[in-house]
């Protein structure tokens, strides 16, 4: 019963369609190439190799720790930006988003200057506590958190600003302190935004390269995360590089799928 | 033992609220007024969601707010609030919504839940304890909100338009339910509403606020019989005129004069029902009534009558039947004669 749909406004102009198809291919073909080139036969062996396993484990641990750090600092910051009645809020919000557009390498350099052994804060950390962050696993976490936190803050702040503050007033009239209100009323009401922000933050931390290699260097089992391992393996063992890339690709797809309803579903 | 409140709030917009309300234990006071009169501001100030800029809120000898020295925030006041759209927490069950207050005030989980269950039972919702607010009807949500406000045994109960979100069908039932619970409550209740019916049915005393000031207060029947402002007269469906009485003759401020039944002296209000005003095509001859020429300004259909807005000296509202509308061809601009018996009027001093 289907009838050929007649175009009321003529055919799509080739001048738009051709670049559109080209653009699509440009985005999709490299990913497809990755899958085609993959050494499928010894994929399990590659995945279980010590080198890949190390990088994978380190990446997961560091991204997760960085995400926890972001949650610990980023959620209160988002709350302050959304609810706090402070002057210069627009400027603060702009400052928070700087790492989002800053080249990660620059972020790494900045971290080195501040937290490095002779840095503004780093020299005191070293002198007083004997703590040195650069070129350690902790340094990886710091670099990843620096780059990923804006994603969480922006997502959570948006959710907070969309939440009705009158519910917080209702909680206050029921005798709840602001902290209890935040935990029991505000946080649950922004949970979807918080989850989306956390996933996004984690994915960004997992893929972090520039700031990590600048601030934490590249020491296998200590600071060589997956993206660093991919870059290095490309020289010595291209197959390993492909396997690592596929793992990262799969993680990205899973992240995208988990955010589908929020980001893509609305567009259909 | 009463709540004493002198509420002064000055806003940047230039609006000033300045009202005084006292509520005795067990008493229900309705704060009635048009939109923007400052009712919700008053409620928020009593709840502790908005600090006063002047005045005092005191329960017994306990001062809640007295600028600039004292301000107890909402969480430290013994208040219960039912908000206009209830503001039930969507992620909590009805039971946990009601248990929230006791939990926040330090009761352990088991006891808080037991008390919440008891209150849900009292408002007839024991079967819905596990339901999320989203799945409750408007009337049920309102009862959960009431239970949530009362479970902490507050000294002061504040209700902000508690029936406004309900449709007409459930409203009648929920109103009588609410009345029952307010009767049982031993604390002080302030009901904020713009609906005169809610106020008349539920309150022991009305406080009418216009533009941040109290314009009239008293028991509902007295307010209904003797309105003092245009707004109140409109609420209770009466014509209200002002004038100066000398015996049984009142010279009206709006022009014209009326003969009233009871002699009076000095400035008076004269109130009468729109249904008491008769309309005639010619001056009714030889009748003991007040008659004066009028022009039809507007005609609106009400439930079973037609309300006619008339310009003249004085301008009045008249309620007539549809038959009269047809017979007299009541269209805007029509010239007629209005008639009003002296015995239908009620005059009372300013």
Count of pairs with CB atoms under 8 A, one residue in A, one in B: 61
Q: Report the SS3 class of residue B316.
A: strand
Strand partners, B188: B156
Contact A189 B90 (CB under 8 A): yes
- Cβ contacts of B91 on chain A, cutoff 8 Å: 188-189, 191
pLDDT (average), residues B207-212 = 93
C-alpha distance from B212 to closest chain A C-alpha (Å): 23
Please report, for residues A164, B99, B109, B129, B281, the alpha-carbon distance to residue B104 in angstroms, rounded to integers and kept in the order given. 20, 9, 10, 19, 70
**In a domain? residue A11:** no
A191: burial class by Cβ within 10 Å (0-12, 13-18, 19+)?
exposed
Q: How many domains, chain A?
A: 1
**In a domain? residue A259:** no
Query: In whole angstroms, what is the distance from residue A33 CA to residue A23 CA?
Result: 16
Report yes or no: B49 at the A interface, CB cutoff 8 Å.
Answer: yes
- pLDDT tens profile B155-203: 999 999 999 888 888 888 889 989 999 999 999 999 999 888 899 999 9
- pLDDT tens profile B225-268: 899 998 999 888 899 999 999 988 999 998 888 999 888 899 99
Average pLDDT of chain A? 87
Strand partners, B335: B295
The structural domains of chain B, with segments of one domain joined by +, span 3-234, 237-341+345-349
Contact A188 B91 (CB under 8 A): yes
- Cβ contacts of B152 on chain A, cutoff 8 Å: 174-175
- Predicted confidence band of residue A266 (pLDDT cuts 50, 70, 90): very low
Report yes or no: B109 at the A interface, CB cutoff 8 Å.
Answer: no
Contact B73 A172 (CB under 8 A): yes
Query: In whole angstroms, what is the distance from residue B3 CA to residue A174 CA?
Result: 19
ipTM over 0.85? The verdict is: no
Does the structure show a pLDDT above 50 at A188?
yes
Report yes or no: A172 at the B interface, CB cutoff 8 Å.
Answer: yes
- Equal fold, B3-234 vs B237-341+345-349: no
- Predicted confidence band of residue A4 (pLDDT cuts 50, 70, 90): low
Q: Phi then psi for B77, rounded to 5 degrees?
A: -105, 145
**In a domain? residue A38:** no
Contact A173 B105 (CB under 8 A): no
Residue range of the domain that includes A172: 58-222
Query: In whole angstroms, what is the distance from residue A153 CA to residue A100 CA?
Result: 11
Residue with tokens 């296998």: A220
**In a domain? residue A191:** yes
Report yes or no: B146 at the A interface, CB cutoff 8 Å.
Answer: no
C-alpha distance from A170 to closest chain B C-alpha (Å): 7
- Cβ contacts of B80 on chain A, cutoff 8 Å: 173
Contact B74 A173 (CB under 8 A): yes
Per-residue confidence (pLDDT) for residue A100, from 0 to 100: 87
- Cβ contacts of B77 on chain A, cutoff 8 Å: 173
- Predicted confidence band of residue B288 (pLDDT cuts 50, 70, 90): low
Contact B47 A173 (CB under 8 A): yes
Task: Determine contact, residues B174/B94, Cβ cutoff 8 Å.
Answer: no
Number of neighbouring beta carbons within 10 Å of residue A141: 23
Report yes or no: A165 at the B interface, CB cutoff 8 Å.
Answer: no
Query: In whole angstroms, what is the distance from residue B81 CA to residue B254 CA?
Result: 43
> Measuring CA to CA, which residue among B63, B61, B12 is closest to residue B41?
B12
> pTM for this structure?
0.81
Would you give the DSSP letter of residue B162? T
**In a domain? residue A53:** no
Q: Phi then psi for B61, rounded to 5 degrees?
A: -105, 5
> Measuring CA to CA, which residue among A99, A104, A108, A106 is closest to residue A134?
A108
Q: Which fold would CATH assign to domain B3-234? A: Rossmann fold (3.40.50)
Task: Determine contact, residues B314/B308, Cβ cutoff 8 Å.
Answer: no
Per-residue confidence (pLDDT) for residue A87, from 0 to 100: 85
Query: How far from the centroid of its chain's Cα atoms is residue B36's Cα?
Result: 13
- Predicted confidence band of residue A249 (pLDDT cuts 50, 70, 90): confident
Contact B75 A177 (CB under 8 A): yes
Report yes or no: A170 at the B interface, CB cutoff 8 Å.
Answer: yes
**In a domain? residue A173:** yes
Does the structure show a pLDDT above 70 at B287?
no
Report yes or no: B133 at the A interface, CB cutoff 8 Å.
Answer: no
**Which residues 185-244 of A have a C-beta within 8 angstroms of B?**
185, 188-189, 191
The gap between the terminal CA atoms of chain B, to the nearest Å, is 32
Structure tokens of B342? 């002296």
Task: Determine contact, residues A115/A142, Cβ cutoff 8 Å.
Answer: yes
Task: Return the top range by mean pLDDT from A71-80, A237-246, A258-267.
Answer: A71-80
pLDDT (average), residues A8-13 = 74
Query: In whole angstroms, what is the distance from residue B52 CA to residue B38 CA?
Result: 13
**In a domain? residue A144:** yes
Per-residue confidence (pLDDT) for residue A37, from 0 to 100: 83
Selected residue with higher pLDDT from B337 and A51: B337
CATH of residue A63: 1.10.3720.10
Q: What is the CA radius of gyration of chain A?
A: 23
Does the structure show a pLDDT above 80 at A125?
yes
- Number of helices and strands in chain B (H, E): 9, 19
Average pLDDT of chain B? 91
Per-residue confidence (pLDDT) for residue A252, from 0 to 100: 82
Number of neighbouring beta carbons within 10 Å of residue A127: 10
Contact A166 B89 (CB under 8 A): no
Does the structure show a pLDDT above 70 at A2?
no
**In a domain? residue A107:** yes
CATH number of the structural domain B237-341+345-349: 2.40.50.100
Does the structure show a pLDDT above 50 at A264?
no
C-alpha distance from B73 to closest chain A C-alpha (Å): 8
Share of chain A above pLDDT 70, in %: 93
Give the torsion sign (CA, B322, B328, B332, B337).
negative
C-alpha distance from B90 to closest chain A C-alpha (Å): 8
């Amino acid at each position: 019963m289907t009838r050929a749909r007649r175009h009321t406004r003529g055919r799509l102009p080739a001048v738009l369609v051709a670049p559109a198809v080209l653009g699509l291919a440009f985005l999709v073909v490299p990913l497809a190439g990755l899958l085609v080139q993959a050494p499928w036969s010894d994929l399990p062996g590659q995945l279980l190799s010590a080198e890949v396993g190390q990088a994978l484990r380190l990446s997961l641990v560091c991204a997760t720790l960085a995400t926890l750090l972001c949650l610990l600092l980023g959620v209160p910051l988002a709350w302050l930006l959304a609810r706090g009645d402070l002057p210069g809020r627009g400027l603060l919000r702009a400052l928070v988003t700087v790492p989002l557009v800053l080249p990660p390498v620059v972020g790494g350099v900045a971290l080195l200057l501040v937290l490095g052994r002779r840095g503004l804060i780093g020299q005191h950390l070293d002198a007083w506590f004997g703590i040195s962050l650069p070129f350690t696993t902790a340094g990886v976490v710091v670099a990843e958190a620096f780059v990923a936190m804006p994603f969480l803050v922006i997502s959570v702040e948006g959710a907070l600003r969309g939440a009705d503050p009158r519910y917080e007033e209702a909680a206050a009239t029921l005798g709840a302190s602001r902290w209890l209100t935040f935990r029991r009323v505000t946080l649950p009401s922004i949970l979807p935004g918080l989850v989306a922000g956390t996933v996004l933050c984690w994915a960004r931390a997992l893929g972090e390269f520039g700031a990590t290699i600048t601030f934490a260097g590249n020491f296998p089992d200590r600071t060589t995360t997956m993206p660093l391992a991919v870059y290095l393996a490309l020289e010595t063992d291209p197959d390993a590089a492909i396997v690592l890339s596929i793992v990262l690709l799969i993680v990205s797809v899973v992240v995208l799928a988990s955010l589908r309803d929020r980001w893509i579903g609305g567009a259909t | 033992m009463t709540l004493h409140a002198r509420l002064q709030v000055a806003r940047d917009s230039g609006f000033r609220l300045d009202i005084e309300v006292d509520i005795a234990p067990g008493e229900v006071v309705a704060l009635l007024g048009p939109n923007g009169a400052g009712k919700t501001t008053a409620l928020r100030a009593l709840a502790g969601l908005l600090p006063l800029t002047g005045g005092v809120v005191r329960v017994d000898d306990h001062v809640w707010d007295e600028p600039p020295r004292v301000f107890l925030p909402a969480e430290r006041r013994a208040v219960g609030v039912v908000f206009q759209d209830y503001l039930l927490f969507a992620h909590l069950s009805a039971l946990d919504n009601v248990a929230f207050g006791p939990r926040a005030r330090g009761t352990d989980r088991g006891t808080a839940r037991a008390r919440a269950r008891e209150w849900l039972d009292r408002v007839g919702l024991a079967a819905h304890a596990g339901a999320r607010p989203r799945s409750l009807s408007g009337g049920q949500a309102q009862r959960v909100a009431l239970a949530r406000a009362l479970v902490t045994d507050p000294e002061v109960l504040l209700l902000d338009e508690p029936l406004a979100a309900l449709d007409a069908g459930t409203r009648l039932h929920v109103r009588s339910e609410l009345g029952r619970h307010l009767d049982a409550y031993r604390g002080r209740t302030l009901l904020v509403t713009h609906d005169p019916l809610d106020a008349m049915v539920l309150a022991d005393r009305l406080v009418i606020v216009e533009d941040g000031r109290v314009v009239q207060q008293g028991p509902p029947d007295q307010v209904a019989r003797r309105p003092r402002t245009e707004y109140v007269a409109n609420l209770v469906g009466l014509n209200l005129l002002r004038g100066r009485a000398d015996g049984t003759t009142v010279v009206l401020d709006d022009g014209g004069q009326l003969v009233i039944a009871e002699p009076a002296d000095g400035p008076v209000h004269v109130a009468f029902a729109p249904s008491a005003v008769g309309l005639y095509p010619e001056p009714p001859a030889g009748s003991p009534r007040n008659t004066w020429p009028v022009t039809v300004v507007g005609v609106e259909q009400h439930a079973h009558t037609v309300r006619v807005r008339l310009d003249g000296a004085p301008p009045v509202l008249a309620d007539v039947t549809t038959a009269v509308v047809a017979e007299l061809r009541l269209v805007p601009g029509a010239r007629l004669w209005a008639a009003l018996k002296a015995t239908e009027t009620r005059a009372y001093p300013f």
